[in-house]
Amino acid sequence: MSAVDQLFRDLRAAKRKALMPFVTAGDPDLAFTADVIRELAARGAHLCEVGIPYSDPIADGPVIQASYQRALTKKVKLADILSPLASVAPAVKMPMLTMVSFAIVYRHGTARYVSDAKKGGISGLIVPDLPLEEADSLAKECRAADISLVQLVAPTTPRERAIKIAETSTGFLYYISVTGITGERRELPPDLVENVAWLRERTKLPICIGFGISEASHVKQLAPVADGLIVGSALVRRIAKAAELPRAEVLKDVGGYIAELLAALG
């Protein structure tokens, strides 16, 4: 059982839902990334999704694309990312997952990536460009290391295929709330709750919703149907201010934002 499995088992027993913030590793630098992760944990976030910068965006909107580019411009490498995560993991005591392109995993070596992630305190992988049909090798390595391999379902995913994805995903199922790219939105699709409810009837796996969630009202709307909610662009935009503002001020803003979402989560 991975740390992600255990977390959701505990949350379900307590009838609580999870909040999973997303941060870009290395923006504005890795030291501040570690500080942000500590702040998120201190405020009560349940998991943390750490984006591994990649030059070819998969479904990332302009805010996250820009954060990746800033990190890459500073020559942030995978080995540089995993080392500080390893140092912060024991202190935060919340599962961390990497959002990583399969191109990076493949280039690094599948077995080696899983091994290095485990040493870095990582409890799960989210690989958005990994096709279901090609997931077996990575899934096997993850199972052996007790690391969750989270897979994604989109609104456009055929229902038969969505069921197959749910059967092979571990940790939780990542449900993409909108068709398109990441980014803050004032309103979410009207059929989102219905679509997630349909999927819930067909899997016992926890379902976490991501893309477009940025406001307390979104959290209140989706908490009844989801096991967890993922917030990315709105948080990355706040973190980016560390390039101009005092870092203590940015951390306070980040922490206050997460506290607001957690309060809405109930």
The residues annotated as belonging to the active site are 49, 60
Dump the DSSP string for the chain.
--HHHHHHHHHHHTT--EEEEEEETTSS-HHHHHHHHHHHHHHT-S-EEEE---SS-SS--HHHHHHHHHHHHTT--HHHHHHHHHHHHHHH-S-EEEE--HHHHHHH-HHHHHHHHHHTTEEEEE-TT--GGG-HHHHHHHHHTT-EEEEEE-TTS-HHHHHHHHHH--S-EEEE-SSS-----SS--TTHHHHHHHHHTT--S-EEEESS--SHHHHHHHTTT-SEEEE-HHHHHHHHGGGTS-HHHHHHHHHHHHHHHHHHH-
Residues facing 99 on adjacent strands: 51, 126
Residue that is written with structure tokens 């493949």 in the block: 106
Burial of 110 (0-12, 13-18, 19+ CB in 10 A): middle
Spatial distance between the Cα atoms of 89 and 19, rounded to a whole number of angstroms: 17
Rounded-to-integer distance, Cα 266 and Cα 261, Å? 9
